[in-house]
Amino acid sequence: QLQVVESGGGLVQPGGSLRLSCAASKFTLDYLKIAWFRQAPGKEREGISCIKMNDGSRNYAESVKGRFTISRDNAQKSVYLQMDSLRPEDTAVYYCAAVYAPWGMCELTTYTYTYWGQGTQVTVSS
């Protein structure tokens, strides 16, 4: 059973940066797509970025394009989300999710992903 665990959340001022980490518990991640989602109070869960572990191709939601960067380290079995120029509206619980699906592009839909972490809180406030 694959497990993914998020870390790196916290409180940051508007305009600041945070780096989230997603660690996966499998020998090889080559067949995975891994994505970051977020959910603010009273709102639906939103897909914000994803990456294919075998070739590094990635996708971003318009709401974070140009501010957030997703990256992978297959040796460390980890995916990172570098979040810059943070805004109060980025405040949410951020989730890492994974699925065994090495074909096609990665997607930002919740139903695509099988394995989910517990989430990490990100709060952007002065």
pLDDT in 10s for each residue of the chain, 126 residues = 889 999 999 999 999 999 999 999 877 788 999 999 999 999 999 999 999 999 999 999 999 999 999 999 988 899 999 999 999 999 999 999 999 998 899 999 999 999 999 999 999 999
How far is the C-alpha of 52 from the C-alpha of 66, rounded, in Å? 19
* Encoded tokens for 2: 């694959």
Q: What is the pLDDT of residue 21?
A: 98
- CB count, 10 Å around CB of 89? 10
Q: What is the pLDDT of residue 74?
A: 85
Q: Give the type of residue at 16.
A: G
* Encoded tokens for 41: 């109070």
Q: What is the pLDDT of residue 80?
A: 98
For 1-25, b/e burial (b = at least 16 CB within 10 A) is eeebebebbeebeeeeebebbbbbe
User: Which residues sit opposite 18 in a β-bridge?
Assistant: 83
What is the distance between the terminal CA atoms of the chain, rounded to a whole angstrom? Answer: 40
